[in-house]
Amino acid sequence: MSVLERFLKYVKYNTQSDPKTGLNPSTPGQMEFAYVLCEELKAIGLQDVDVDENGYVMGFLPSNMEREVPAIGFIAHMDTSPETSGKHVNPQIIENYAGNDIVLNKEKEIFLTVEEFPELARYVGQTLVTTDGNTLLGADDKAGIAEIMTALEYLVTHPEIKHGKLCICFTPDEEIGEGPDYFDVKKFGAKFAYTLDGGELGELEFENFNAATAKIPFKGRNIHPGYAKNKMVNSILAANEFIANLPRKETPDQTAGYEGFFHVYSITGDVETTVVEILIRDFDRERFGMRKTVLENGVREFSKRLGLSIELEIKDQYFNMLEKIEAQYYIVDIAKRAMEDVDVKPQIVPIRGGTDGSRLSFMGLPTPNIFTGGHNFHGRYEYIPVPSMEKAVQVIVRIAELCSKL
Give the model confidence (pLDDT) of 27-86 as tens digits.
999 999 999 999 999 999 999 999 999 999 999 999 999 999 999 999 999 999 998 999
Task: State the distance between the two ends of the chain, measured CA to CA, in whole angstroms.
Answer: 31
Distance CA 317, CA 19 (A): 14
Show the CA angle centred on residue 19, arms to residues 34 and 367, nearest 5°.
60
Is there a single domain that holds both residue 179 and residue 154?
Answer: yes
pLDDT band at 233, cuts 50/70/90? confident
Strands, E, within 209-251: which ranges? Answer: 210-219
Give the model confidence (pLDDT) of 306-329 as tens digits.
888 889 999 999 999 999 999 999
pLDDT averaged over the chain?
A: 96
Around Cβ 343, how many Cβ atoms within 10 Å? 8
pLDDT band at 305, cuts 50/70/90? confident
Is there a single domain that holds both residue 119 and residue 20?
Answer: yes
| Mean pLDDT computed over 258-276 | 95
What pTM, to 2 d.p., does this model score?
A: 0.90
Distance CA 373, CA 393 (A): 11
| Mean pLDDT computed over 160-164 | 98
- Residue in 404, 388, 405 with CA at minimum distance from that of residue 339: 388
Q: Exactly one of 174, 203, 205, 356 is catalytic; name it.
A: 174
Total count of domains within the chain = 2
pLDDT band at 354, cuts 50/70/90? confident
Is there a single domain that holds both residue 86 and residue 112?
Answer: yes
Is there a single domain that holds both residue 191 and residue 246?
Answer: no
Q: What is the pLDDT of residue 306?
A: 82
Last residue of a domain, one of 318, 348, 364: 318
pLDDT band at 355, cuts 50/70/90? confident
Q: Exactly one of 40, 79, 175, 197 is catalytic; name it.
A: 79
DSSP assignments along 299-359, one per residue: HHHHHHHHT-EE--EEEEEE--THHHHGGGTHHHHHHHHHHHHTT---EE--BSS--HHHH
Is there a single domain that holds both residue 58 and residue 113?
Answer: yes
Q: Is the pLDDT of residue 145 over 90?
A: yes
| Mean pLDDT computed over 172-197 | 96
Is there a single domain that holds both residue 109 and residue 161?
Answer: yes
Q: How many CA atoms lie within 13 A of 119 on its CB side?
A: 13
Is there a single domain that holds both residue 177 and residue 275?
Answer: no
Cβ contact 135:12 at 8 Å: no
Q: What is the pLDDT of residue 384?
A: 98
Q: What is the pLDDT of residue 105?
A: 96
Give the domain CATH number at 244.
3.30.70.360
Q: Is the pLDDT of residue 281 over 90?
A: yes
Give the model confidence (pLDDT) of 363-393 as tens digits.
999 999 999 999 999 999 999 999 999 999 9
Give the domain CATH number at 399.
3.40.630.10
CA dist 149 to 10, 40, 142, 397, Å? Answer: 11, 8, 10, 11
Is there a single domain that holds both residue 255 and residue 125?
Answer: no
Q: What is the pLDDT of residue 55?
A: 97
Distance CA 257, CA 86 (A): 29
| Mean pLDDT computed over 325-341 | 97
| Mean pLDDT computed over 168-183 | 95
Is there a single domain that holds both residue 252 and residue 129?
Answer: no
Is there a single domain that holds both residue 248 and residue 185?
Answer: no
79 catalytic per annotation: yes
Domain enclosing residue 142, as ranges: 3-207+320-403
Around Cβ 2, how many Cβ atoms within 10 Å? 14
Show the CA angle centred on residue 275, arms to residues 271 and 280, nearest 5°.
150
Distance CA 68, CA 12 (A): 40
Q: What is the pLDDT of residue 46?
A: 98
| Mean pLDDT computed over 110-136 | 97
Instruction: Tell me the pairing of strands 369-371 and 192-198.
Output: parallel
119 catalytic per annotation: no
Last residue of a domain, one of 318, 352, 370: 318
| Mean pLDDT computed over 350-368 | 92
Q: What is the largest CA-CA distance in the chain?
A: 86
| Mean pLDDT computed over 119-134 | 98
Distance CA 112, CA 380 (A): 9
Cβ contact 58:168 at 8 Å: yes
Show the CA angle centred on residue 353, arms to residues 351 and 356, nearest 5°.
90
Q: What is the pLDDT of residue 349?
A: 87
Is there a single domain that holds both residue 276 and residue 339?
Answer: no
Distance of CA 263 to the CA centre of its chain: 18
Around Cβ 101, how many Cβ atoms within 10 Å? 13
- Residue in 291, 294, 301, 314 with CA at minimum distance from that of residue 238: 301
Q: What is the pLDDT of residue 309?
A: 80
CA dist 361 to 69, 111, 245, 334, 385, Å? Answer: 21, 39, 36, 17, 30
Q: In percent, how much of the chain has pLDDT > 90?
A: 94
Is there a single domain that holds both residue 391 and residue 294?
Answer: no
Last residue of a domain, one of 293, 318, 343: 318
Distance of CA 264 to the CA centre of its chain: 20
Around Cβ 328, how many Cβ atoms within 10 Å? 14
Distance CA 366, CA 379 (A): 30
